[in-house]
Chains A and B, each alone.
Chain A
Amino acid sequence: MADAAEKKSLSFQDMILTLHAYWGARGCAILQPYDMRVGAGTFHPATTLRSLGPEPWNVAYVQPSRRPTDGRYGENPNRLQHYYQYQVILKPSPADLQEQYLGSLAAIGIDPLLHDIRFVEDDWESPTLGAWGLGWEVWCDGMEVTQFTYFQQMGGFDCKPVAGELTYGLERLAMYIQNVDNVYDLRFSDAVGEVPGVSYGDVFLENEKQFSKWNFEVADTDSLFAGFKAAEAECQRAIAANVPLAAYDQAIEASHLFNLLQARGVISVQERANYMARVRDLAKGSCKAWIDSQSAAWTAKYPGWTL
């Protein structure tokens, strides 16, 4: 029985393709990952900046996410410094968002009359993005598989209208569906004819080892500090030059360099709050510049819309 289920279950890449097909069929533009190092799918400008303003926005994408402090040199079966989030943004949030989401679980092979799906209160907050929302973590048989959030604020600004955000933890979900206990044992792709499939470990184990070492031991802290300062300055220049998208890239860069500095253990508790506030200022500044650059178009197209 377990054997049969295992054979039928989707590989990691097929799960992603299934989600793409599912959300694409519901009107989402399927975007590609943002080409910068970020800590979560929420940092993609398609979420951060596009969740602001009155225009409808429906997208789905995979975002590789880097959390340097979570690295475990490939030795922990559940923890990675680089992993994937599947991100869906629906603005305004549709009335049947929960049903659509549950449909996506069914599509990747989770039967809600066999497995216990639950919406458990979990309010989301990102201090570095100046953002918060209300929602749940979605449990499947006691495991958190998705963060489900109605954005209330982004960059310190009210979301008008509110966007619904779904963040699937792809590795967790795949481990669940494929019934494996170690992330590196996941089937990334299935064998096709003579061509063998690859495991998650084939693709990423060496990355985890090397990047854990670099994050924790090797990365040059002087250049990280210098990089942080440079990104901060460049962000402010870009804001002044009214190119908020470019400014936001630098805010992302500063945020990631800060995460790396944390992993290197060179930021004290007192400094930590200060650095976070600096990143937040960059993110908020970028959001504000974005709003300023778009407001005229927004109000022209959506009379009565106000910030």
Chain B
Amino acid sequence: MTDFLLELRSEEIPARMQAGARAELDKLFRAQLAAAGLDVGDLTIWSTPRRLALIAKGLPEATAAVSEELKGPRSSAPPQALEGFLRKTGLTQDQLEDRDGVYFAVIDKPGRATAAVLAEAIPAIIRAFAWPKSMRWGKDSASSESLRWVRPFSGIVAIFGDELIPCEVSGISAGYATRGHRFHCPGEITIGSASDYAEKLRACHVIVDHEERQNIIRDGAANVAADAGLTLVADEGLVIENAGLTEWPVPLLGRFDEAFLAVPPEVIQLTARVNQKYFVVNDAAGKLANGFVCTANIDAVDGGAEIVAGNRKVLAARLSDARFFWEQDRKTTLQDHAKKLDRITFHEKLGTVADKVERVAKLARWLVEEGIVTDRSPANAGAQSGTEQTAASGSPGPRLSPGSTQELADQAELAARLCKADLVTEMVGEFPELQGLMGGYYARAEGLGDAVADGIRDHYKPVGQGDDVPTAPVTVAVALADKLDTIFQFFRIDEAPTGSKDPFALRRAALGVVAISLQSNLRWSIMLTGAAALTGSIFREWHTEKTQPFIEMLEALTPLINSGNAQELMGAVGAVLKTMPKLNAPNPEVLVETVIAGAKVRDFFLDRMEVMLRGDGIRPDFVRASVIIDGDKGKEDDLVRLLARVKALQAFMASDDGANLLAGYKRAANILKQADISVAPAQAGAAGSSVPNVAAPAFAGATVVDQALLAALDAAEPAASAAVAEERFTDAMAALASLRAPIDAFFDGVMVNDPDEAVRTYRLGLLARFTGAVHGVADFSKVEG
């Protein structure tokens, strides 16, 4: 067993590509050796800006010998067939075996020396290597076929045991020699084997293990800060990036002019990090201090004094730009900044950012006035706990006094009107990452109040998993309105995400909406809110006071909307519009487009919920079962209520009652299917022409078991539907559980397909009622297992 060392050198590899390159090297090396029949155990893979290194421990000296048998033509076949076979195998006729009139070629492949395998594998790996961006260079680049690499490729070390693996790519041959640190040890150094590689490099000022460099930077930066009585602001991304920029990292502390601390700390941190890759530090009180830590790539002869001085100067120039922006931007109010938003196109078909702001402001106000966002602080209201009490407590509680609702609506609208204004400030022009945050600073500086300033600052939140979810009412209203406007508008113009394409980040926006809604237990109908969001833009004059009749109309048309039949829907909408003269009858076609977009958004949200809950370990089939409301009557369009349903179903299905009831349901559904009785579950009692209404207990053929099931259904149906109506979904499940014993007894005690037609019909009817009762709570046909 022998160790193998491979080093691939090049000019400086971008820091951000090094982790991917290590993974690529791992993958290609394993694939090449596996193809040759060699198993690779643990690989050590390192990277620096100038090299990728791989160490494979304990490779065998040779691959195992294999024997291959090829069946040839019959010995009686025409000579051409034999000639062809000989050509193919490269053998002569006397080397073939004649087995019962059929030629066989037995080819023994002896084991190959691992060294030979490696000599072929290395060039193949280099040629197949995939970089995010690669290039050509040098005189070879006169031809299109020249080698491509991330930057000019410069050297190969390939040593198996202590033997050089001879190989060559694009004029570069493998050797024992590598290079040390660019400035400390510019000459060649000779490597003996995998075992002395890292240490020889270390002696030449190269720490080849990227994790070791990361540790040096992480600990060293913390130490130089601590030595000055400061605390490093940890930033793992910077640790990794600096480790990718250095072979011999030396963290150094510098200070900048305290006067710059007048600039918001986030701006200083961003300038330092993004432009200069510096860490920042806090003082003992946890506030940003006038210090930075840069990571040099040398042990400077003066201990780094000149390096720190130079970096301080560059940072000072950056910070004085930032301070200039900070002062300049505050000379104009956010309201005046916002006027310039009509110069920025939001989307070709959706107008300017100013247009968007107008829509968001109206929707934010509507969310408050409708009582969807209120001043109660229902954070941690327990939406996550999924009990039926949760959902019940979420139903709109006591409304605020009209006065404070108006105040909240005014604040939400104001925050919404100003939330994008910072996009035209100098600071955000320079640092787009600071959008929102700067608006918050400028709003506070103008004295707009914390609620509005926070609303502006945090309205993009949450931007990803793990980000803070807003709970302050003004922020919630703006954050929700902004995201909902984006989602509904892009769906209206048919720009829904498809497959991996989501150019407008609608999925992320939807997850944000879900998180905000669940966090604060916000109860809102997707369809109706969509109508408000979309009519606000298309029929602006309808907004608020005139939206109500439209919403009522929507409710009446729900089944048609669910069917997705645009033609029929348009007819119905037209008819309804005629009965609403007050509405100033808009074009029904546009209205239908709006309604259909709403339905698509609802399905999109339901799909997102499924994805999100799957991440929380909730089975997707439970979500699908909970989405369908009472057979085909509609789909759930309240995210909080959906979660309560799903959680109740999940708890129920984890119980014995649930599992057994599911088995009983599947059996019943099968029998009904075989009987070719399509049971529209919601109307199970009256479904299918061949199934009579079995409400009357006095059927002559009914046994005790039949009677017991009927009685159980009579009790369970109203209990379940009452519980569903009151959003007590656990109670609804309990009502279903009461059917478990009777249905089990029914299947044990009677035969459904009784020879007597009347008895059979009666029992099928009972089963139809049973499945209908189940569907009233959840669509068990979607539950798997």
A interface list, Cβ under 8 A from B: 54, 78, 92-95, 97-98, 102, 111-121, 123, 133-136, 140-143, 150, 152, 158-162, 164, 176, 181, 269, 302, 304-306
| Contacting pair A114 B143 (CB below 8 A) | no
| Contacting pair B14 A121 (CB below 8 A) | yes
| Contacting pair A98 B11 (CB below 8 A) | yes
Known: A93-B138, A134-B133, A136-B12. 11 other contacts (CB 8 A): A93-B137, A113-B300, A116-B297, A121-B12, A152-B135, A159-B136, A160-B143, A160-B144, A161-B138, A162-B141, A302-B142
**Interface stretch among B53-61, B303-311, B384-392, B452-460?**
B303-311
Chain A residue with Cβ nearest B139: A92
* Complex partner residue of A123 from B133, B142, B309, CB under 8 angstroms: B133
A98 to B183, CA, bound (A): 12
- The 6 lowest CB-CB distance pairs between A and B, nearest first, are A141-B310, A121-B14, A119-B12, A142-B311, A161-B142, A162-B141
* Complex partner residue of A141 from B136, B301, B306, CB under 8 angstroms: B306
| Contacting pair A116 B296 (CB below 8 A) | yes
Question: Would you list which residues of chain B between 268 and 303 have a CB under 8 Å from chain A?
Answer: 276, 278, 294, 296-298, 300-302
Contacts of B143 in A (CB 8 A): 160, 304
| Contacting pair B343 A269 (CB below 8 A) | yes
Contacts of A164 in B (CB 8 A): 137
| Contacting pair B302 A114 (CB below 8 A) | yes
A111 to B317, CA, bound (A): 23
Contacts of A162 in B (CB 8 A): 135-138, 141
A102 to B183, CA, bound (A): 10
Interface residue B430 (Cβ < 8 Å from any Cβ of A): no
Contacts of A133 in B (CB 8 A): 135
A305 to B140, CA, bound (A): 11
Chain B residue with Cβ nearest A158: B144
Given A113-B184, A143-B313, A306 and B16 touching (CB < 8 A)? no
A270 to B389, CA, bound (A): 55
Chain B residue with Cβ nearest A54: B142
Contacts of A54 in B (CB 8 A): 142
Contacts of A121 in B (CB 8 A): 12, 14-16
| Contacting pair B135 A113 (CB below 8 A) | no
Interface residue B409 (Cβ < 8 Å from any Cβ of A): no
| Contacting pair A78 B317 (CB below 8 A) | yes
Contacts of A115 in B (CB 8 A): 300, 306-307, 310
Contact with A along B182-214 (1 / 0, CB 8 A): 111000000000000000000000000000000
A164 to B144, CA, bound (A): 17
* Complex partner residue of B298 from A112, A152, A160, CB under 8 angstroms: A112
- Measured CB to CB, the closest approach of chain B to A7, in angstroms, equals 17
| Contacting pair B152 A95 (CB below 8 A) | yes
| Contacting pair A134 B151 (CB below 8 A) | yes
The listed residue with most B CB atoms (<10 A of its CB), out of A158, A162, A176, is A162
| Contacting pair A117 B310 (CB below 8 A) | no
Given A78-B317, A95-B152, A134 and B135 touching (CB < 8 A)? yes
- Measured CB to CB, the closest approach of chain B to A224, in angstroms, equals 22
Chain A residue with Cβ nearest B295: A116
| Contacting pair B15 A114 (CB below 8 A) | no
Chain B residue with Cβ nearest A99: B186
A95 to B142, CA, bound (A): 14
Chain A residue with Cβ nearest B246: A118
| Contacting pair A160 B142 (CB below 8 A) | yes
A117 to B297, CA, bound (A): 8
* Complex partner residue of A95 from B151, B154, B297, B301, CB under 8 angstroms: B154
Contact with A along B705-737 (1 / 0, CB 8 A): 000000000000000000000000000000000
- Measured CB to CB, the closest approach of chain B to A186, in angstroms, equals 15
The listed residue with most B CB atoms (<10 A of its CB), out of A113, A176, A306, is A113
| Contacting pair A143 B298 (CB below 8 A) | no
Contacts of A118 in B (CB 8 A): 245-246, 297
A–B pairs, 30, beta carbons within 8 Å: A78-B317, A97-B152, A98-B11, A113-B298, A113-B300, A113-B301, A114-B302, A115-B306, A115-B310, A116-B297, A116-B298, A116-B300, A116-B311, A118-B246, A119-B12, A121-B14, A134-B135, A134-B150, A134-B151, A135-B151, A136-B12, A143-B310, A150-B135, A152-B135, A159-B141, A160-B141, A161-B141, A162-B141, A269-B343, A305-B142
Contacts of A113 in B (CB 8 A): 183-184, 298, 300-301
Contacts of B536 in A (CB 8 A): none
